[in-house]
Structure 1
Amino acid sequence: MYSNLASQTKSNKAKWRLGAILPLGAALSGAAFAVEPVTGVTDDQEVVMDDVKVKAAREKQANRFKADSSSTGSKTEMALRDIPQSVSVVKEELIESQNAFNLRDALRNVSGLTIAAGEGGRTGDSITLRGFAANSDQYLDGVKDNGQYNRDTFFIEKAEVLKGASSILFGRGATGGVINQVAKKPTGKTGVNGSFTYGMYDFKRTAIDAETAYQDLAARLNVMYQDTDSYRDYNSSSRWGIAPSFALKLTPDTDLSLNLLHQQEEGVFDYGVPMWRGTPADVPINTFYGFTDNRMMDSDVNVATVALTHRFNQDFSVKNSIRYGDYERKYLTHLFSGAAAYTGANAGTIARSQALRLSTQENVYNQTDFVFKKPLFGFNNTLMFGSEFGWEEYDFKSKNSTGVTRVSVFDPIITGSVGRGLASDFSGTLATDRLTHAQTYAGYVLDQFEINPEWKLLGGTRYDVFDAQQEDRLGVANFESSVDQWSPRGGIVWQPSKSQSYYFSYGKSFNPSAESLSLAANNAELPPEQNHNYEIGAKLDFFDGRLSATGALFRLEKTNARTTSPLDPNLQELSGEQRTDGFELGLAGEILPKWDVSLTYAYLDAKITKSTTSATGSVSGLLKSYEGMTAVNVPEHSGVAWTTYRLTDNWEIGGGVFYASDRYADSVNEAVLPGYARLDAMLAYHQKHFDVQMNVFNLADTVYYESGQTNSALPGTPLSGQLTVSFKY
């Protein structure tokens, strides 16, 4: 199925490998029943006991979709009601209810977040948050995890999204917010859970989650394997991963943890169908425009994290985390290199391009966080301060294939690439060959001060030094860039009762030229872009905390965006502006004891308010300015409604709607992705030691496009289903 190019994907540098599954034992738990001793009975008397009836009912899980706290809004676990900023938490129960096996599917439950097709050949998870790209703003347990790969949910217990400018906590980027995965860790229990899923398009997946403990050492192992074809012709993927984790109590006040992740995937680079006169071409969604061979997209990810936590006393603690990340991708792109031709000799066709690309990235980060909880002037006070040091290396090569012909938009003839100048290795002339180094040095201080039980203040700042150096092996562009930046944050929280919390906050972030570990000749010497987030919101609890409602009104501004100089099109300057005004609503928890809901909605007005950059419209053929245009891949209205109801202790039914209005796929607003509403459903049967669950996706078989670019659109999944059988002991 895959070309022998895949055998060339591994670099020569040494990488840690996990050779075998760790010997975590699975123990079966029995039921023990204790009876009070009978008094006043001699040894030779007969005792008649009352009948004891045992009912193995399914344990009820309270607040399956509602979270009460988050570690992403500050440097310690904090109640959501105390964080003066919008935070969305997608819990494991919601992920399992929807069979959301990819992180991007889980994140569909987050208001103001949209999934984008990778721009500029970017693959892996590509996300837009409140109108701004969040590609470099992905974290794992609070430490940067910005490699490009498709993140799986097999080893995470929840995904947290902090919205708005947040450089005080995370450094560069963090414009629209950050996405933080929280990995599953040892709990000290002994048990094993497993599942097998089979679905349409020959979807097969199995996962195991096992843990055990012995004295002061606890261990947990998550393993996953997935293999599937696709509703897209000539598409398939195969993925496997292993994530062992260990927790060791060195002393009563000192804990050491080790978390590892290895994930590999083989797939196909596919951006979908062409755009035709500004909308996706009216062709079957399975139509493929690439080549029948050489459809390679391989990734290899290794992440290791060591964390040491020490409590000096009940008020003062420190946590030091060290992260090593290694990310490798090798793939053959297939892109439409221009708009479709509407007239002339090439009418009804579109140009294609192909390139062989290899990127390797290594990260090393060290974070030290102190938390000091001590009353100040008689008032409750939590002081957080610490430092971060990071080193990143990004190596990128690209070689273009030659002789790639045009293809018919409505009747493509798909052939192999033999004789078409396939780029099969990196010998000869390369289009790109760059090595980028980046270093981060930062310190921060953040304080939460409680004036009284009703009023709380949060404020602090962070100072970053971000240096980057680029070595262009083609001799085109060797650059160095150095940025130092203060990033303040402030907020006030009013809590007139335990069920009400109202807040106002301000935060700042910055985007240096080398934010995504690549530099360009026309912007390498520019200062960073600046971003400001203003937000007012409310967080309310109902039914003794079983149901929570949230709302936020915000403005997010980029005040000096990079834009093309009107005097020299080869230079850029900081004279652009972009703004997103919006509000979002959320509801999560139990409406009734057996009725769980997760509802989100976002309204976003994302505009390029000032720009000197122009581009030729794919429909009009006219040169148009970005100024006044709506930001790419930002629907004005979007939301998700998901609900489940337990008919009995054993039977559960649920479903929901995923909705997005029209959105633009290009910067001059001529390419449009139509709005859609996708209806899903689930039915589950639960027992004490096993579950059976059926998920049906896109019940109405709606044709929709989940992401796109100027010249292409990626169709969403058609009507399909999956059956999952899981066990737990």
Structure 2
Amino acid sequence: MFLNPTYGVNRPDFDTLLFDRNSEIDRLGIYLQNQIEIFDQLNILLGLRYETVAQRNENVPALFYPGGDTTQNDSAWTPRVGIVYQPIPHVSLYGSYSQSFNPSVDDIDADGNPLEPELGEGFELGVKTELLNGNLLATLAYFDVTKQNVATEDPNFSGFGISIATGEQRSQGVELDLTGKISPGWNIIASYSYTDATVTRDNTIAVGNRLTGIPQHKASLWTTYEIQSGSLQGLGGGIGINYVGERPGDLDNSFTLDSYFLTNAALFYRRDNWKFALNFRNLFDVEYTNSRGGFGSRTNAGLPGEPFTVVGSISVSF
């Protein structure tokens, strides 16, 4: 039929061919929180959330779906605990622990059934400090997050919106953030993160495989300077860099997306409550693949990154 097409015939309804369903979802959440000051240097945050979700799905028979109605009811209690201790001025130590409950309202398996809810727990430990008389804030943190029933694309139905739950995944690492003012008119935002994101339990994926689209190393720097006085007061510019390391393209780790390094810049002018700006993205027109979009195969892993782009804007505040 491909070599002898019939013209004038309407194309098939691909939405029905692939899948079609009507869903009704009722979701209710109740959250209680209390912040307690033990003494001047110590604060504790306690929270508890209850959530319940009821789903009713009408699956229309199609290429991959047998059809029929499905229902699913899920609920969970999820706590949250946080603590902040300030041993000396300008230095704070903090820690937090929380659990999460994320019902699968969009992800379905090859039989048209919703996946089991994604469950997670995580904790974070860190230190915050103020530098340059409080003008510069630095944060160093360690995080550890574990999720179960994580939905990913079913490799047997790549590109058709059908998912599977991959068992258990864990992300742990270190983050360093720096933000604030170095001197009058000179601002900076910088960050670095190391993330070890792997499969920790699964029936088909090898334990220890890295998660798709997540780089181990990621760093960024953005700095701006604005003239503070004189005839050119309000004129400024900025420059920044963004580095993203190599990322696995699928859960089997059969191929890798290359790292990339981008440079961005800006020119702006403030006058009274007006601001005029030109932003230059990907200044050197680097070709790269970002971490958004579908993953799972070499032909469906990430999206082409934005080329050299100039964006102009005019804004007014009042």
TM range (shorter): 0.7 to 0.9
Paired position in structure 2 for 1:209: none
Paired position in structure 1 for 2:155: none
Flag the structure with higher strand content. 2
Q: Distance in 1 between matches of 2:8 and 2:185?
A: 61
Paired position in structure 2 for 1:676: 260
> Which one of 130, 136, 161 corresponds to residue 541 of structure 1?
130
TM-score of the superposed pair, with normalisation by structure 1: 0.37
Any idea what the Cα deviations from partners look like across 1:141-185, whole Å, max 9, x if unmatched? xxxxxxxxxxxxxxxxxxxxxxxxxxxxxxxxxxxxxxxxxxxxx
Contact 2:126 2:142 in 1 (8 A): yes
User: CA 1:644–1:481 in structure 2 vs 1: closer, same or farther (change >3 Å)?
Assistant: same
User: CA 1:557–1:523 in structure 2 vs 1: closer, same or farther (change >3 Å)?
Assistant: farther
Contact 1:575 1:611 in 2 (8 A): yes
Paired position in structure 2 for 1:447: 34
**Pairing 1:520–2:70 present:** no
Instruction: Give the percent of matched residue pairs that are identical in Structure 1 and Structure 2.
Output: 32
Letter in 2 for 1:500: V
Paired position in structure 1 for 2:92: 501
User: CA 1:720–1:574 in structure 2 vs 1: closer, same or farther (change >3 Å)?
Assistant: closer
Paired position in structure 2 for 1:661: 245
> Which one of 492, 498, 523 corresponds to residue 83 of structure 2?
492
Q: Distance in 2 between matches of 1:462 and 1:631?
A: 29
Q: Distance in 2 between matches of 1:433 and 1:590?
A: 53
**Pairing 1:607–2:187 present:** no
Letter in 1 for 2:212: V
Matches within 5 A, 1:24-423: 423=11
The alpha-carbon deviation at position 701 of structure 1 amounts to: 2.2
The alpha-carbon deviation at position 702 of structure 1 amounts to: 1.6
SS at match of 1:430: helix
Letter in 2 for 1:455: L
The alpha-carbon deviation at position 661 of structure 1 amounts to: 0.4
**Pairing 1:644–2:235 present:** no
Letter in 1 for 2:238: G
Any idea what the Cα deviations from partners look like across 1:372-419, whole Å, max 9, x if unmatched? xxxxxxxxxxxxxxxxxxxxxxxxxxxxxx969xxxxxxxxxxxx995
TM-score of the superposed pair, with normalisation by structure 2: 0.81
Paired position in structure 1 for 2:57: 470
The alpha-carbon deviation at position 573 of structure 1 amounts to: 9.8
5+ unaligned residues in a row in structure 2: which ranges? 153-162
SS at match of 1:714: coil
5+ unaligned residues in a row in structure 1: which ranges? 1-401, 405-416, 564-571, 614-624
User: CA 1:701–1:560 in structure 2 vs 1: closer, same or farther (change >3 Å)?
Assistant: closer
Letter in 2 for 1:555: D
Paired position in structure 2 for 1:185: none
Q: Distance in 2 between matches of 1:479 and 1:531?
A: 25
The alpha-carbon deviation at position 726 of structure 1 amounts to: 4.6
Letter in 2 for 1:492: I
User: CA 1:675–1:479 in structure 2 vs 1: closer, same or farther (change >3 Å)?
Assistant: same
Any idea what the Cα deviations from partners look like across 1:281-326, whole Å, max 9, x if unmatched? xxxxxxxxxxxxxxxxxxxxxxxxxxxxxxxxxxxxxxxxxxxxxx
Q: Distance in 1 between matches of 2:289 and 2:84?
A: 40
Letter in 2 for 1:485: A
Paired position in structure 2 for 1:529: 118
Any idea what the Cα deviations from partners look like across 1:51-106, whole Å, max 9, x if unmatched? xxxxxxxxxxxxxxxxxxxxxxxxxxxxxxxxxxxxxxxxxxxxxxxxxxxxxxxx
**Pairing 1:631–2:200 present:** no
Any idea what the Cα deviations from partners look like across 1:26-75, whole Å, max 9, x if unmatched? xxxxxxxxxxxxxxxxxxxxxxxxxxxxxxxxxxxxxxxxxxxxxxxxxx
Q: Tell me which of the two structures has the higher relative contact order, counting C-alpha pairs closer than 8 angstroms and 6 or more residues apart.
A: 1
User: CA 1:418–1:583 in structure 2 vs 1: closer, same or farther (change >3 Å)?
Assistant: farther
Letter in 1 for 2:141: A
> Which one of 184, 199, 214 corresponds to residue 593 of structure 1?
184
SS at match of 1:590: strand
Between Structure 1 and Structure 2, whose CA radius of gyration is higher?
1
Q: Distance in 1 between matches of 2:238 and 2:317?
A: 22
Contact 1:459 1:490 in 2 (8 A): yes
Q: Distance in 2 between matches of 1:637 and 1:422?
A: 50
The alpha-carbon deviation at position 500 of structure 1 amounts to: 2.0
Paired position in structure 1 for 2:45: 458
The alpha-carbon deviation at position 535 of structure 1 amounts to: 0.9
Q: Distance in 1 between matches of 2:114 and 2:281?
A: 48
Q: Distance in 2 between matches of 1:721 and 1:403?
A: 43
Contact 1:678 1:699 in 2 (8 A): yes
Q: Distance in 2 between matches of 1:562 and 1:716?
A: 25
User: CA 1:538–1:657 in structure 2 vs 1: closer, same or farther (change >3 Å)?
Assistant: same
